[in-house]
Structure 1
């Protein structure tokens, strides 16, 4: 364990290691994360526990951090490579003004001597509560941004106020926590969180990096959720030298191409299903204009639709539910539930957009799959335009 070693360290015991970061567009190395390692008993050991040990003095952490960064920059200078990015972890709690100035001057010197471009340096803001001195910290970040450096938020999906950090820092890259990525291999709930984070990255304009990828399934989950960058033992462990290529490039490309093929197949099936639903409801609703009463209409309709339709209701274009909820579960008898009448569903992100699209196209739409809160099952919603700016909503479960 690092925490029981004597301090201070000798600089010769410390070594920067480089873990490759893979670009999703070319499935090749686009950069490296710089990680600290300690040589002990002829074996490299991670410094992670050292930096998280509260018993280690701030001075010792700063010494180790500075030594690792300086050695890493020396190796980067030797590389003289202007097409790769270099990710440096930055913990605001022990990144003092003096440390900041030293690192800043080292970076600036490399840029002035044209060994690097500013955009090649990425500062990863690690898990830390820096909000007590946020003005000073933002001043530090802006100094690096002026050089062209990029900013990443690390450990997204766990720990201290990630959303607050994103709003405050406005990062270029969001780095998803490795535990969240690894749990997504077996948990649909964690997959749903990854999807939410992918939506966050789109809205914030930040790129998404998934770390901790160890299996092909994790790689597929990252691809499916919009990752521009991948990192993890699946590609390579951190090494004292910067490897120039990954040994499984062909396997990675084949896995992603298989994923793309299956995704295209699923989308094709979904839109074919949407066409079938439109044809069915075109036929079933051709005489709707003769039925002015919503409840009478739904009572008639629910006896004509397939078993996978389990919930029906009608809303107006402003989102107010005009009818009762007509529901059934596990092929049991239909029930009409009144408590949802006059509730407004326009707060749902897709609602108004779908209303406009249905009116424009004069046809129904099927949603993406999502988890139904009441039944705890993955379902779809098919929505269909009716006369007088009203709309029929049919919840569909293919698991029942």
Structure 2
């Protein structure tokens, strides 16, 4: 796993670290994810959760840890979370510090099943998030079916938002919806000071991206704080 911080710029604190899958040789996520199939999807999903929790404990992370999961790998929510709970107990990592992200780029076969997963996770005290919001299969329809604690704006909406009136208007609309639904918003993939300033002016205060820190392989990177 590599870890990339999600920062709260209001008080210059780390809100969370996202655990990002890597090969044991440091190879990127795309290469690893390309090897997932119906035969290994469940085992891969479970192994990633355990690895993320164990490394988070080893690194002494005291913020949230955000873990991506594959909804199509979860056959029964309560049973599939058991391994995660056992890992947290074994490594003495508080389950109250876990966030589970579903990426909008994975086509969800059964939305009712996904809703049950998210409800079970929230019942157990985990935070839930929709990753890559605005770039996937369902868009606002997914948000209408269930409301997570967090959405992460896809980097395609963030990129050059400072010079794109269309992106600016779309993000402004999403922020209005999320404010009405009491959903926190993270802008991911932020790379320039201009993007950061535009998003700050819109009211975003959670950020993730190269402007702040690149992912670090099995360690925690140093954060660079941009000037407002």
TM-score range, shorter chain: 0.7 to 0.9
CA distance in 1, matches of 2:151, 2:126: 15
Which residue of the partner structure matches residue 161 of structure 1?
138
Q: Which has the higher contact order (CA 8 A, sep 6+)?
A: 2
Which residue of the partner structure matches residue 38 of structure 2?
58
Structure 1 counterpart of 2:68, from 89, 104, 107: 89
CA distance in 2, matches of 1:120, 1:23: 16
CA distance in 2, matches of 1:217, 1:194: 15
CA gap 1:242/1:21 in 2 versus in 1, 3 angstroms: farther
Structure 2 counterpart of 1:146, from 114, 123, 126: 123
CA distance in 2, matches of 1:96, 1:148: 18
CA gap 1:64/1:111 in 2 versus in 1, 3 angstroms: closer
Three-state SS of the structure 2 residue aligned to 1:59 is coil
Taking structure 2 as the reference length, the TM-score comes to 0.87
Three-state SS of the structure 1 residue aligned to 2:168 is helix
Structure 1 counterpart of 2:20, from 27, 31, 35: 35
Matches within 5 A, 1:38-117: 38-40=23-25, 44-48=26-30, 50-51=32-33, 53=34, 56-81=36-61, 83-93=62-72, 95-97=73-75, 101-102=79-80, 104-109=81-86, 115-117=92-94
**1:134 positional shift:** 2.6
Structure 2 alignment gaps of length 5 or more: none
What CA deviation, in whole Å up to 9, does each residue of 1:258-303 have, x standing for no partner? xxxxxxxxxxxxxxxxxxxxxxxxxxxxxxxxxxxxxxxxxxxxxx
**1:26 positional shift:** 1.4
**1:141 positional shift:** 2.0
CA distance in 1, matches of 2:71, 2:123: 19
Structure 1 counterpart of 2:213, from 213, 231, 236: 236
Which residue of the partner structure matches residue 210 of structure 1?
187
What CA deviation, in whole Å up to 9, does each residue of 1:316-346 have, x standing for no partner? xxxxxxxxxxxxxxxxxxxxxxxxxxxxxxx
Contact 2:77 2:117 in 1 (8 A): no
What CA deviation, in whole Å up to 9, does each residue of 1:344-375 have, x standing for no partner? xxxxxxxxxxxxxxxxxxxxxxxxxxxxxxxx
**Bigger Rg over Cα:** 1
**1:178 positional shift:** 0.8
How many residues align? The count is: 227
- Let me know the Cα RMSD of the aligned residues: 2.5
Taking structure 1 as the reference length, the TM-score comes to 0.52
**1:136 positional shift:** 2.6
Following TM superposition, the consecutive aligned residue runs of length 4 or more in structure 1 with deviations greater than 6 angstroms are none
CA distance in 2, matches of 1:63, 1:106: 11
**1:105 positional shift:** 1.8
CA gap 1:242/1:25 in 2 versus in 1, 3 angstroms: farther
**1:232 positional shift:** 0.6
Which residue of the partner structure matches residue 177 of structure 1?
154
Structure 1 alignment gaps of length 5 or more: 1-15, 257-400
What CA deviation, in whole Å up to 9, does each residue of 1:203-240 have, x standing for no partner? 11100100001111111122122223100111111112
